[in-house]
Amino acid sequence: MSKSKNNKAAKVATEKRDALLDLLKNQGAQIYNDLDKGKFPQFSVPSRSVSNIVYDKKLRQYILGNAASLRSARNMSQLRSFTQLMWLAFFANRLVHEKKSSTLRDVYYSSQAFEVEFEDQPESDNIIVDLEAVLARPREDFHIFPEERSSIFGDLTIEYTVPGYEGKRMRLSDHPDGYLIGPSLSSAELVDTSAELVIAIEKGGLFTRFIEEKVDKKFKAIIVDTAGQAPRATRYLLKRLHEQMKLPVVILTDGDVYGEHIAMVIKSGSANAAHLRELTVPDAKWLGVWASDIDKFKLPTIPMTESDIKRIYDLQKDPRYQEGIWKTELEIFLKIKRKAELEAFSKYGLTNITDKYLPHKLELAKSL
Amino acid sequence: MSKEVFNQISPSEFFYRNRDLAGFSNPTRSLYTAVREFVENGLDACDQQGILPDIHLRIEAVDPEKPDPKPYVLTVKDNGPGMDSKQIPLAFGTVLYGSKFGLKQARGMFGLGATMAILYGQITTNKPVTVSSSVDGKAMHEYTMMLDIQKNKPVIMKHKQTDTTKKGLNVSITLDGDYSKAGSKIRDYVYQTSLITPYATITFDDPKGEKFQYKRIVDTMPPAPTIIRPHPHGVDVETIRRMIADTHYQVPVLDNAMIEKVKKELGLSKKNLNFEGIMARAEKKWSSLSRPVRVIVAVMSFLNMDFERIMKIRLEDIDLIHKRLSYYDFGDAKLVTLEMPKSNPYYKQLANTVQGDSLITFLTKRFQRIGQATAIKFAEFANLKAEKRIGSFTNEELVQLSDSLQKYEDFLTPDPSCLAPLGEEPLKKGMQQFFKPDFLEVYQRSASAYSGFPFVIEMGIAYGGGIPAGKMTVYRFANRIPLLYDEGSDVVLKVVNETDWNRYKVKNESPVVIVSHICSTRIPYKTVGKENVADREEIEKELRLALQYLSRKLAAYMSKRGLAEIEKKRANLYLKYLPLIAQFSTELAGKNKEPDYKKVIKDLNNVQVEEQ
């Protein structure tokens, strides 16, 4: 455990926080000055419309194009959302200053203390995405978290930065149920690990099975439960594990089109978050379950639904699905029109997946 | 003529028997009608003399404790020219006496209504009418009198003369009325009359002790109408017959007075000449002689008589068709008929005089806006000889003339100078004062005509402000009289109701007032009650055009108003959100004092003002 590494990480975190606070202050000052000059304040918000979402091959993720819309307090139809956005920036500023965290739902209710109305939570969620786009920072940076929580387990030591826990360390293999990836864990410094690999797995049930089967030890792995589509905090953590701890990331999902896309989002982001750039692990690898595995491992299957098939057609238009396994697996799914869940391996015994499938796939991954 | 005896009834008696025709059917209606007649007479009298009217109406119950209907004393006082003392008994004590027979716009038609009211008062309460008048502002004559209904004669009970300082007329009658029922109509009447007569001050003391006063809003009176000749489209055979009788000369009576007149005009009052001398003198002075004198001279020429001779005969007939002249000779006591040779230089003169004007002269002189050229063209159209003397027309020819006058389409439209519309400016000021609206527009159409009667439409539309929402209100006026009853069948309401108000952004419950004023020498009322105007095509069209013009203006205003309302909402939104933005940005920017965001809102208000 090197102290210098720790200090450096803490420094990075502090710098990042200060940069965000500066950004908020600058935005606030700009609006303040406009008002003081008797001008209607305005700022530009990068456009998040479909036409402005482009795939950047170099970054290997979706990013926003150059289109931006001007939001002005003069425009009556924008006045309300302008005020909401201002409030959110103000609220985020307080959260970051006071090192407090909030959830999407919490934000919706907090607004009411300031006479800023949101029709419903989707409206406030949308404003949060706007603020992300304006600041080009994920909401987790300004301490706003979704309700959904995913978990982590493995030999990883972290150091908390949240008030009251500053400096306190924790080994993430001490509790057999794993640890929630919440605000305090997301903001903690990554101190040390003996692991050589990160396995992200789509399902909580399999996550528990992997812990029971000591996959962490057998494969020197940190196990992450994405609980379906990986939340941003989880993706951010995966990125840090990959970049700061130099750990390769592999992904295990159900054998269907949604599973394939869960892996893709961890690897290269989602169109929904095209305005954010620090959430992807471009080197992450999808281990399975592939469509081709269904036949290969004689897995029990269930038929695809209409919406499964439609989703395949949709993804076939996505530039990221134009090559490699991404392309071929999609084609096979479309051909067999059947899917298999991770639990399907249980047909051949509860440990079949960890004993047989996983080693096989990890071996295969080296050549991917 | 048959010897059968007809019982002639006097006009008073006729109206007494048919009083409901004139609006005196019951105590409620009668009280209202009486008020109208006296107030309108007062206004008319002032209008005609160009005096800014000051009308004071007072109704008092004789015994306030009695239940309605009961006797009321109705008094109307004006500041008009007054009436000559000698004329008062005839004017107020007989039916069908009036000074309004000319062809021009006036409120009442014949001054008949006032007498009817007096008559009604007399038969219901048996009380006399009191009229006091001053024409010079010094002496006042007061008459107390009743009508002898059968004889149509006034019975003067009292006449006294007192000193005064004010000109004008004061009429007071006692009549059976029902103010509890008629009150609201009378108040409406006074209110609406004041609206259409903004140059008058009208005061009303009602029997309950309430005082309603509508002060003068404008100090200028609309120009008084002029009396004009009739338009050819507006006359019938009977009118033509009267006009002809009026123009052509009756065979003169050769009495002493007439002979004296002839002598005087010839300059022979103190000098007698023989026949040749008279003829020579007449020839010399011909151009200065009056028409009757010319006829006498012509007759003397035919008969070869001097003054002495001619005084002994009576002219019987001048028969131009057979060129015969007949007279009764008192001396010989016999009827003499002799030929009138056309060769006689006086033949033409006599013929012309007796037969009246030629058709062309008749048309150009007696009708409005007919010139020589039009008259000639018309004669061709009517298939009548242009030079034919009007007095020699046969019955058939008269009917032909009358029909053709109706049918000929190339006459100029009737002369509107006999009309006295209120004018856009006074109407606008009146409406402004009465309704205090947010929007007001008035419009006067140019004159038009129906059946030979000229008319002018004036209209005003007002929106919002002091006007209560709920229902569109239409005030109808004709010749400055408010029309209060029978609105259902009125042409103005027909036009208003047929308008698609949605097109003009006006809703049913919008606060809208429409004032419509029809001015004409003859308003085509549907009923004798004179409360609703018939839907004559020409009038309907003019009303429609006026209303369309005003509605378009209103629609433009409504659009603007809509914008203004959006602006207002907008300003409210700014007021709601800008303080919040200021608050949040202050904390974000790390400042202590909030920015002066009010400047932004101030600028916004300026923008609004400019836009309006």
Q: Which residues contact A18 (CB under 8 A, 6 or more apart)?
A: none
CA torsion through residues A285, A287, A289, A295, sign: positive
All residues at 6 or more sequence positions from B139 whose CB lies less than 8 Å from its CB, including other chains: B161, B162, B163, B164
CA distance A210 to chain B (A): 47
Contact B580 A36 (CB under 8 A): no
- Asked if A250 contacts A284 with a C-beta cutoff of 8 angstroms, the reply is yes
Contact between A25 and B596 using a beta-carbon 8 Å cutoff: no
List the beta bridge partners of residue A286: A251
Are residues A200 and A250 in contact, defined by beta-carbon separation less than 8 angstroms?
A: yes
Q: Taking CA atoms, what residue in B is nearest to A82?
A: B581
- Cα distances from B308 to residues A49, A104, A115, B279, B311, in angstroms, run 124, 133, 120, 14, 6
Pairwise pLDDT comparison (A275 vs A202), residue with the higher score: A202
Here the tokens at position B384 are 């009548």
**Which chain B residues contact residue A94 at CB under 8 A?**
587
Helices (H), B107-208: 112-125, 179-196
Which sign, positive or negative, has the C-alpha torsion A300, A304, A308, A312?
A: positive
Instruction: Give me A354's structure tokens.
Output: 């960890």
pLDDT band at B98 (very low <50, low <70, confident <90, very high): very low
Long-range contact set of residues A192-195: C-beta below 8 Å, sequence gap at least 24: A192/A1, A192/A156, A192/A157, A193/A154, A193/A155, A193/A156, A193/A157, A193/A222, A193/A241, A193/A245, A193/A247, A194/A155, A194/A220, A195/A154, A195/A155, A195/A156, A195/A220, A195/A221, A195/A222, A195/A245, A195/A247
CB contact under 8 A, A32 and B577: no
Residue B6 confidence class, pLDDT cut points 50, 70, 90: low
Inter-residue contact A282 to A320 (CB < 8 Å): no
A89, B588: Cβ pair inside 8 Å?
A: yes
Give the residue from A203, A187, A190 showing the smallest Cα distance to A353: A203
Task: Give dist(CA A238, CA B261) in Å, integer.
Answer: 137
pLDDT in tens, A237-249: 999 999 999 999 9
Q: How far is A72 from chain B (nearest CA, A)?
A: 12
Cβ of B600 within 8 Å of Cβ of A39? The answer is yes
> From the list A31, A76, A94, which residue is nearest B585 (CB)?
A31
- The tens digit of pLDDT for each residue in B271-317 reads 788 888 888 888 888 888 887 788 888 888 888 888 888 888 888 77
On chain A, the residues whose CB falls within 8 A of the CB of B573 are: 76, 79-80
Beta strands in B270-400 (DSSP E): 313-319, 324-329, 334-339
Q: Is residue B97 scored above 60 in pLDDT?
A: no
Residue of A nearest to B572 (CA): A76
Mean per-residue pLDDT of chain B? 84
Give the pLDDT confidence score for residue A6 in this predicted structure.
55
Interface test with B, best of A18, A24, A26, A32 (most B CBs within 10 A): A32
Report the 10 Å Cβ neighbour count for A17. Answer: 17
Residues 6 or more apart whose Cβ sits within 8 Å of residue B44: B100, B106, B107, B108
Q: A183-197, A211-225, B3-17: which has the minimum mean pLDDT?
A: B3-17
DSSP 8-state assignment for residue B369: T
Nearest Cα neighbor of B322 from B343, B342, B303 is B342
| Maximum separation of any 2 CA atoms in chain B, in Å | 138
Distances (CA, A) of B333 to B310, B314, B330: 14, 11, 5
Residue B487 — very low, low, confident or very high, per pLDDT cuts 50/70/90?
A: low
CATH of domain B416-556: 3.30.230.10
Q: How far is B600 from chain A (nearest CA, A)?
A: 5
- What are the residue ranges of helices labelled H in A37-112? 76-98, 104-110
Looking at the complex, report in whole angstroms how far the Cα of residue A29 sits from the nearest Cα belonging to chain B.
Answer: 4
φ and ψ of B296, to 5 deg: -60, -45
B589 and chain A in contact, CB less than 8 A? yes
Q: For residue A366, what is the enclosing H or E element?
A: none
- With CA atoms as reference, report the closest residue to B480 among B206, B147, B195, B271: B195
B417 by DSSP, 3-state: which? Answer: helix
Q: Please tell me the distance from the alpha carbon of residue B60 to that of residue B567, in angstroms, as a whole number.
A: 55
> How far is the first Cα of chain A from the last one, in angstroms, to the nearest whole number?
32
Mean pLDDT for B534-560 is: 91
CB of B76 closer than 8 Å to CB of B56? yes
Please say whether the dihedral angle defined by the alpha carbons of residues A191, A195, A201 and A205, taken in this order, is positive or negative: negative
Tokens of A225: 């439960």
Tell me if residue B156 falls in helix, strand or coil.
strand
Which residues are CB-contacts of B103 (< 8 A; sequence separation ≥ 6)?
A: B227, B228, B229, B230, B418, B521
Of A55, A108, A109, A160, which residue is the catalytic one?
A: A109
Contact with chain A for residue B592, Cβ under 8 A: no
Nearest CA in chain A to B568: A76
Q: How many CB atoms lie within 10 A of CB A293?
A: 21
Cross-chain Cβ contact A36/B595 below 8 Å: yes
User: In chain A, which residue's Cα lies nearest the Cα of B575?
Assistant: A79
pLDDT tens-digit series, residues B520-533: 888 888 776 677 88
Identity at B146, one-letter amino acid code: M
Report the C-alpha gap between B160 and B153 in whole angstroms: 20
Which tokens go with B357?
């004007």
User: Is the CB of residue B581 less than 8 Å away from at least one CB of chain A?
Assistant: yes
Answer yes or no: are the C-beta atoms of A279 and A364 closer than 8 Å.
no
Across the range B424-440, mean pLDDT stands at 93
Whether A39 and chain B come into contact, CB under 8 Å, resolves to yes
Chain B hits for A93, Cβ within 8 Å: 587-588
Note the pLDDT tens digit of each residue in A98-109.
888 888 888 888
Q: In 3-state terms, what secondary structure has residue A253?
A: coil
**Mean pLDDT across the stretch A326-340?**
92
Q: ipTM higher than 0.85? A: no
d(CA B482, CA B531): 8
Task: Give B-chain residues touching A33 at CB under 8 angstroms.
Answer: 595
Which of 3.90.75.20, 3.30.565.10, 3.40.50.150, 2.60.120.10 would CATH assign to domain B11-214? 3.30.565.10
Domains defined along chain A, listed by start: 3-145 (1.10.10.10), 194-365 (3.40.1360.10)
pTM: 0.55
A124 touches chain B (CB under 8 A): no
What letter would DSSP give residue B358?
B
Calpha distance A16→A33 (Å, rounded):
26
Task: List the single range of B70-79, B433-442, B476-485 with lowest mean pLDDT.
Answer: B476-485
CB B325 within 8 A of CB B336: no
The reply to whether A321 belongs to the active site is no
Are B483 and B477 in contact, with CB atoms under 8 Å apart? yes
| Close Cβ partners of B322 (under 8 Å, ≥ 6 residues apart) | none
- Flag whether residue B387 sits within 8 Å of chain A, measured between CB atoms: no
The residue ranking higher by pLDDT, B474 or B413, is B474
What pLDDT is stored for residue A158 in this prediction?
93
Interface check for B570 against chain A (CB to CB < 8 A): the answer is yes
Helical packing angle, A121-135 and A76-98, nearest 10°: 70
* Residue B201: per-residue pLDDT: 96
| B232-246+357-407: CATH number | 1.10.8.50
Q: Is B538 exposed, middle or buried (0-12, 13-18, 19+ CB in 10 A)?
A: middle
Cβ pair B585:A32 closer than 8 A: yes
Nearest CA distance, A32 vs chain B (angstrom): 5
Closest Cα in chain A, distance from residue B589 (Å): 4
pLDDT at position B109, please?
47
Across the interface, of A29, A39, A41, the residue whose CB is closest to B581 is: A41
d(CA A196, CA B188): 101
The DSSP letter of residue B229 is P
Q: Residue ranges of the alpha helices (H) in A111-165? A: 121-135
Q: Give the H/E segment covering residue B297.
A: helix B291-303
Q: What is the Cα–Cα distance from B497 to B547, expressed in whole angstroms?
A: 11
From CA B440, how far away is CA B550, in angstroms rounded?
9
Dihedral, CA atoms, B383, B384, B385, B386, nearest 10 degrees? -100
> pLDDT per residue over A13-58, tens digit each?
788 888 888 988 998 999 999 888 888 888 888 888 778 888 888 8
pLDDT tens digit string along B495-522?
Answer: 998 888 888 888 777 889 999 999 988 8
| Band (B535; pLDDT cuts 50, 70, 90) | confident
Q: Could B589 and A31 be called an inter-chain contact, meaning their C-beta atoms sit closer than 8 Å?
A: yes
Q: Does B572 touch chain A (CB under 8 A)?
A: no
Report yes or no: B580 and A83 within 8 Å, Cβ to Cβ: yes
Start-to-end Cα distance in chain B: 81
| Cβ-nearest to B584 among A29, A80, A86 | A86
Q: What stretches of B452-536 show up as alpha helix (H) in DSSP?
A: 491-497
| Per-residue model confidence (pLDDT) at position A207 | 92
Q: CB of A209 within 8 A of CB of A350?
A: yes
- Closest Cβ opposite residue A32 in set B586, B602, B603: B586
Q: Do A80 and B577 touch (CB under 8 A)?
A: yes
CA atoms within 13 A on the CB side of B182: 26
Best residue in B563, B566, B574, B587 for a mutation probing chain A (most A CBs within 10 Å): B587
CB-CB neighbours of B125 under 10 Å: 18
Report whether pLDDT(B355) > 80: no
